[in-house]
A and B are shown apart, each in its own frame.
Chain A
Amino acid sequence: MPLSATCNEVRCYHCGEPCLATVTRLEEKTFCCEGCKMVYSIINEYALCDYYNLNENPGVAQRIKVRKDKFAFLDDASIAAKLVSFRNDEQVHIKFYLPQIHCSSCLYLLENLHRLDRGVISAKVDFTHKEATIVIQAKTTSLRQLAELLARIGYEPYISLNDLNGKRPVYNKRMISQLGVAGFCFGNIMLLSFPEYLGIGVSEQGLKNIFHWISFALSVPVLLYAAIPFYESSWKSLRHRFLNIDAPIALAIIITFSRSAWEVLSGTGAGYFDSMSGIVFFMLAGRVLQDKTYQRLSFERDYTSYFPVAVSVLKKDKEIPTALPGIKVGDTVLIHNDELVPADGILSRGNAYIDYSFVTGESIPVLKETGELVYAGGKQTGGSIEIFVLKEVSQSYLTSLWEKDDTTKTGESKSSFVHLLSRYFTYIIFAIAAGTAFYWYNHDTHKLWPAVTAIFIIACPCALLLSNSFTNGNMLRILGRNHFFLRNAQTIEQIADTTNIVFDKTGTLTSSIEQEIIYEGNPLTAIQTKQVSSLAGCSNHPLSRALAKQFPSKKNMQVLAYKETPGEGIEGFVDNDLVKIGTCCFVCGKTDLRMETAVFISFENDLLGWFRFRNHYRNHIPSLLAELKKEYRLSVLSGDNASEKQTLQKLLGDDADILFNQKPENKLAYIKELQQKGAHVMMIGDGLNDAGALKQSNTGIAVCEQTNNFTPASDAIIEAAQLSRLGAFIRLCRANRKIVMASFGLSILYNLVGLFFAVQGNLSPLIAAILMPSSSLCIFLVTFGSSNLLAKRMHL
């Protein structure tokens, strides 16, 4: 995460983050923490220092240490079996997701893993997916050792419950092959058709025939293999009694082929093989461009990809790592620092500081005393706690959000305007064809078939499809470039139709990484502030770090007798004053009355005051809302109490509904209600508690601080920093449709020219061959040009 970089601070040689409090050194290199130093010493020991030569401080901060037996569960055969992709008695293959992968140094280090552990046979990094496929010798190295090795060098594998039922998105190789085949055939057919157009002499009839036959042969694979996607989708749509754009295209392809084949067989002409293969090629290219989704993001994440694979269950004082599904009601599970509460239960031991940011977006930990109810999905910060399980994982409050998935949203049936357009288009073509047929039937029956077929050849809505897919593809690219990632091209249209925008408050409007810290009590002197920040700097607790960040100091003071009581607070002697920072009862014995997150400080055991933590609104949010409320009806749904009402009302205007204490189901219901009123709703949220609503809404946009953080299932993912440009994004999506229409209109002109010849029954292959590419080319230029231009104008 980007820290507020105050000037000339020491940066960590490993991770490049500023060394706040503790600066540790090794071979005159500075490190921000022991973790980073550890990693360096290992890498150095094995002469892998190119790791540091390839990029500057390539590492990832190692402050949060990995718990010793965190990966114990990998020793459990049943769990391991589910994770490995292949195993026999000498080899084990496993694919780990390593979110830390980000540069060539990572690549270098990981692919040299075999140097660090002789048991590793090979490691291959898939950079785009941030995955490493590692092969180890079953005898020498265990999975657990491997995982721990990775963790030790700063690449802790991310193993989630989702990996147990390992389903990964597969990259569409088929269409690439089809594109290749189409391209190959198109190129050669074009080559063979040129002589015709370049006026090959009549004397060389024999040669011409050979060319025709070869083109014929070459266009067969196009018909039978490359064009399959169009047949499939049109067949599917027809089965749903619905005429999508691919139907007329498939028809046109088949007609073109058979007409051309007939011409060659009867030796009457060259046919339109080049046009046909060309079109297929271009359309496939468009498809590929459009379907090029962001492989590193997953829009499908559900809670399983966030939950751990296993937790340690206490059975007569023994920690037994147990696969999550295997947890029964009545078990007692042990949750360590930074671990997730997997199931609803009662806190049976220890003080819990639970960070529900993943559920509600509220990142400030809330204190739970023993005996209180804790919900699954919260993350424990501080010491270990024990929880007596009340509900099985799948039954727990949070997961049930998923199970009762009564939303009625299906991507297919929401048909794009393109399909409607193409339908009219098709009707018109049929009409024209009928008319022509009728005319020639009465005048010159020989011309009937040439004319009719020519009509279908020239006037297939491929132009429409092209303009659509190319524009969409380019849009996705532009938006992606601005860190606004759409699940698919369909979403563009959905966004364009938006009438209502619903925001979640915490974590969406407010930032979940930076808080406002308000101090109350007797004012602190400069020295005292310094002492506090120095002490806070020693701890890794989020609140402490927030404090240290709040009052950064160039030169930190010595802290003696530092002591951290997990879940309570920290204390230590900072130039001879005993300073305590922590919970009320930790600092001054008595429990705090206000149930608000606050950190108390005392000097020499007398209470000076406390810091209150409030989340603060992201920058630009006010301007964004001001901009949006002009065009859309806005609403805010918040899980917490109404304390913020006035502020929000001011921001959103009076007519906006602002609802508080909203349970997930309320949110969902609210969206539904709007939709019943005919609204087209865009929901913007971050936490799991928004998941239902995100699903229900026409476009659910998940906000996240970094793109590889957790996001609930959604239609789009937006990086928090980009939220301010939402308005521009929506406008761009609106423009998308206009562009498609424009370029389509343009290509219609070409079609008319073509039709002019076609209806007369004398459409020469040359004309077709000129019209097809030139119209496609036009479409390229128009779509790319205009969309990029637009983007530039919107400063995207």
Chain B
Amino acid sequence: MAVIVILLIASLSIASIFLLAFLWGVRTGQFEDDYAPSARMLFDDKPVSPIIKKKSK
């Protein structure tokens, strides 16, 4: 079953890539505020213009 070694290397490298990503995330405080992002993504970023008064609900 030597082929499993190949799969191992593949999977491990994937995993370690994600580990790096995770560490980067922690380092740059990606996971610090666990409420704001989920609310922030709801807001529209339409440019200000007098036409837009209220959002159509």
Q: Could you say which of A50, A107, A173, A181 contacts B29, with CB atoms under 8 Å apart?
A: A173
Q: Count chain B CB atoms within 10 A of each CB in A46, A47, A192 and give the residue with the most.
A: A47
A-side interface size class: 20 to 34
Contacting residues, chain A, for B54 (C-beta < 8 A): 49-50, 53
CA distance A206 to B23 in the complex (A): 33
A206: chain B residues at CB < 8 Å are 2
A126 and B31 alpha carbons, distance in the complex (Å): 12
Closest A residue to B39 using CB positions: A104
8 Å CB interface, A537-585 against B: none
Contact B35 A127 (CB under 8 A): yes
A204 touches B (CB below 8 Å):
yes
Given known pairs A104-B39, A188-B12, the reply for A171 and B19 (CB within 8 Å) is no
Given A188-B15, A214-B8, A128–B33 Cβ distance below 8 Å? yes
Within 8 Å CB of A210, what residues of B? 5, 8
Residues of A within 8 A of B33 (CB): 126-129
Q: Does A180 contact B (CB under 8 A)?
A: yes
Q: Is chain B's binding surface mostly helix, strand, loop or mixed?
A: loop
- Give the chain B neighbours of A54 by CB distance below 8 A: 42
How big is chain B's contact interface, by range? 20 to 34
How many Å lie between the Cα of A173 and that of B25 in the bound state? Answer: 10
Nearest A residue to B35 by beta-carbon distance?
Answer: A127
Contact pattern, B 13-24, Cβ under 8 Å of A = 1, otherwise 0:
001100100110
> How many A-B Cβ pairs are below 8 Å?
74
**Contact of A425 with B by CB under 8 A:** no
- Chain B nearest CB: distance from A622 CB in Å? 39
Q: Which of B4, B5, B26, B44 has the most CB of A within 10 A?
A: B26
Known A47-B53, A188-B15: A176·B36 in contact at CB below 8 Å: no
Q: Is the CB of B50 within 8 A of A173?
A: no
What residues of chain A lie closer than 8 Å to B34, measured between beta carbons?
128
Q: Do A53 and B57 touch (CB < 8 A)?
A: yes
Cβ < 8 Å to B, chain A residues 172-199: 173, 176-177, 180-181, 184, 187-188, 192
Contacts of A184 in B (CB 8 A): 15-16, 19, 22
**B13–chain A nearest beta-carbon distance, Å:** 11
| Max count, chain B CB within 10 A of own CB: residue among A54, A107, A206 | A107
Q: How far is the CA of A325 from the CA of B6 in the complex (A)?
A: 67
Bound Cα distance A368, B48 (Å): 52
Q: Which applies to chain A's interface (DSSP): helix, strand, loop or mixed?
A: helix
On whether A176 and B42 interact (CB within 8 A), knowing A46-B48, A50-B55, A188-B12, the answer reads no
Q: Which residues of B contact A188 (CB under 8 A)?
A: 12, 15
Residues B40 and A176 in contact, CB atoms below 8 Å apart: no
- Assess the A204–B39 pair: CB atoms within 8 A: no
**Is A657 part of the binding interface, using a Cβ–Cβ cutoff of 8 Å?**
no
CB-nearest residue of chain B relative to A179? Answer: B26
Query: Could you say which residues of chain A place their CB within 8 Å of the CB of B42?
Result: 54, 104
Q: A124: nearest residue on chain B (CB-CB)?
A: B36
Query: Which one, A49, A112, A115, A128, contacts B35 given CB within 8 A?
Result: A128
In the complex, residue of chain B having the shortest beta-carbon distance to the beta carbon of A128: B33
Q: Are A173 and B43 in contact (CB under 8 A)?
A: no
Interface residue? A33 (CB, 8 A): no
In the assembly, what is the distance between CA of A173 and CA of B53, in Å? 42
Question: Which residues does chain A contribute within 8 Å of B43, judged by CB atoms?
Answer: 50, 108, 111-112
Q: Which residues of A contact B19 (CB under 8 A)?
A: 180-181, 184
A176: which of B1, B12, B31, B57 is its contact (CB, 8 Å)? B31
Enumerate A130-156 residues with CB–CB distance to B below 8 Å: none
The reply to whether the CB of A83 lies closer than 8 angstroms to some CB of chain B is no
Chain A window 34-63, contacts with chain B (Cβ cutoff 8 Å), 1 for yes, 0 for no: 000000000000110110011000000000
Cα of A176 to Cα of B28 in the assembled complex, Å: 12
**In the complex the two chains form, what is the Cα distance from A126 to B40 in whole Å?**
11
Distance between B21 CB and nearest chain A CB, rounded to angstroms: 10
Residues of chain B contacted by A115 (CB below 8 angstroms): 48
Q: A214, B12: Cβ atoms under 8 Å? A: yes
Rounded to whole Å, the gap between the CB of B44 and the closest CB of chain A is: 8
Q: CA separation between A49 and B50, bound complex, in Å? A: 12
Q: In whole angstroms, what is the CA distance A206 to B4 when docked?
A: 12
Provide 6 A-B residue pairs closer than 8 Å at the C-beta atoms, listed in order of the A residue: A49-B53, A50-B55, A54-B42, A104-B39, A111-B40, A177-B23
Residues of B within 8 A of A (CB): 1-2, 4-5, 8, 12, 15-16, 19, 22-23, 26-27, 29, 31-36, 39-40, 42-44, 48-50, 52-55, 57
